[in-house]
Homo-oligomer: A and B are copies of this chain.
């Protein structure tokens, strides 16, 4: 009664259908060379035996794999908190699934570890290509991974991705929109709680922040670097609120830090949005659950992931790749932003 542990192979199906292995292969790959009647007979036999082609054998002989890799390099405790990645992964998968492809996911502790992993994956032909995320300045992954010829698509601005075809969000424009919005509300002392300087998109956002501030004739607002954790966001907010030139608005680089900022404001008796406006990035459900609800720069992370996957398939198909930005994050005003106290 237990599982028939006999391994059923293409040969068994062929025998059952009274044809050769080759015919079965043709039928299962939708290729011409078998009549409709035979094809049906083959499918029936396969169904009855519960056979599906062995994927190792298939990729061995096809010389190709239908798996793509994704390594994410952040401490797990942080990752769990950022809704971004799960949503991103689900976008990737929505496209992979259409093509019967799988995603090999790995959380790594450092970029060097990632380099080793990607190299191994590629050399062992475990993956057909990879998605590279979180680019740093002068990213150390670029040289070795290009050298081994790993087909990949990079998530990040082309200025960071060292020649890999890439997909990115126009953070520069989005930051500008965020800052201008706060300025229009009347804020003049605007602070920015950003990510670590090494991380490419953090730098882009920080630069955009400073540029926009000076374009608006506002003295460069204070900028604090963090590692994206909630604790960091709380610490940064606390120190900003205690500073002599206390800002009237704070722009955060993710939503978890903004939530933390809201907590700190409450703790210090600073009223949001009356005394202080907060603006989050990476809008997630979280921003709608707090009181007051958080205004945020929102974007379609699921669609972002899907687009990345689509471009990867272009790369794998050997097509000319269409690097390009996805839709720019746009402002969703909620209850955490208002004119500054007069």
A→B interface (CB under 8 Å): 2-5, 7, 50-57, 59-60, 63, 65, 67, 76-77, 79-81, 83-87, 89-91, 93, 97, 102-107, 120, 123-126, 146-149, 229-231, 233-234, 256, 259-260, 262-267, 284-286, 288-291, 293, 302
Residues on B with C-beta less than 8 A from A81 are: 83, 284-286
Given contacts A50-B123, A55-B124, A149-B3, contact A230 B288 (CB under 8 A): yes
Is A103 in contact with B106, judged by CB distance below 8 angstroms? yes
A contacts with B: majority SS: helix
Q: Could you tell me the distance between the alpha carbons of A298 and B323 in the complex, rounded to whole angstroms?
A: 44
Residues on B with C-beta less than 8 A from A57 are: 56, 60
Is A102 in contact with B126, judged by CB distance below 8 angstroms? yes
Q: Could you tell me the distance between the alpha carbons of A76 and B256 in the complex, rounded to whole angstroms?
A: 18
Given contacts A51-B123, A53-B124, A56-B56, contact A90 B86 (CB under 8 A): no
Is A103 in contact with B102, judged by CB distance below 8 angstroms? no
Residue from the list B53, B264, B285, B290 in contact with A77, Cβ < 8 A = B285
Chain B min CB distance to A107 (Å): 5
CB-based nearest B residue for A7: B63
Is B93 in contact with A87, judged by CB distance below 8 angstroms? no
Residues on B with C-beta less than 8 A from A285 are: 77, 80-81, 229-231, 256
Residues on B with C-beta less than 8 A from A265 are: 291
Q: Could you tell me the distance between the alpha carbons of A234 and B289 in the complex, rounded to whole angstroms?
A: 7
Given contacts A54-B125, A57-B60, A81-B286, contact A104 B107 (CB under 8 A): no
Is B289 in contact with A56, judged by CB distance below 8 angstroms? no
Residues on B with C-beta less than 8 A from A4 are: 149
Chain B min CB distance to A79 (Å): 5
Is A259 in contact with B230, judged by CB distance below 8 angstroms? no
Is A52 in contact with B263, judged by CB distance below 8 angstroms? no
Residues on B with C-beta less than 8 A from A85 are: 80, 86
Residue from the list B53, B55, B124, B286 in contact with A259, Cβ < 8 A = B286
> Which of A263, A265, A284 neighbours the largest number of chain B CB atoms within 10 Å of its CB?
A263
Residue from the list B65, B93, B289 in contact with A263, Cβ < 8 A = B289
Residues on B with C-beta less than 8 A from A97 are: 106
Chain B min CB distance to A60 (Å): 4
Residues on B with C-beta less than 8 A from A264 are: 291
Residue from the list B3, B79, B234, B288 in contact with A148, Cβ < 8 A = B3
Is A125 in contact with B290, judged by CB distance below 8 angstroms? no
Residues on B with C-beta less than 8 A from A93 are: 106-107
Is B149 in contact with A5, judged by CB distance below 8 angstroms? yes
Q: Could you tell me the distance between the alpha carbons of A91 and B80 in the complex, rounded to whole angstroms?
A: 12
Is A52 in contact with B284, judged by CB distance below 8 angstroms? no
Is B65 in contact with A56, judged by CB distance below 8 angstroms? yes
Q: Could you tell me the distance between the alpha carbons of A289 and B232 in the complex, rounded to whole angstroms?
A: 10
Given contacts A56-B56, A56-B65, contact A84 B80 (CB under 8 A): yes
Residues on B with C-beta less than 8 A from A90 are: 76, 79-80, 107
Q: Could you tell me the distance between the alpha carbons of A89 and B74 in the complex, rounded to whole angstroms?
A: 13
Residues on B with C-beta less than 8 A from A262 are: 291
Q: Could you tell me the distance between the alpha carbons of A266 and B335 in the complex, rounded to whole angstroms?
A: 13
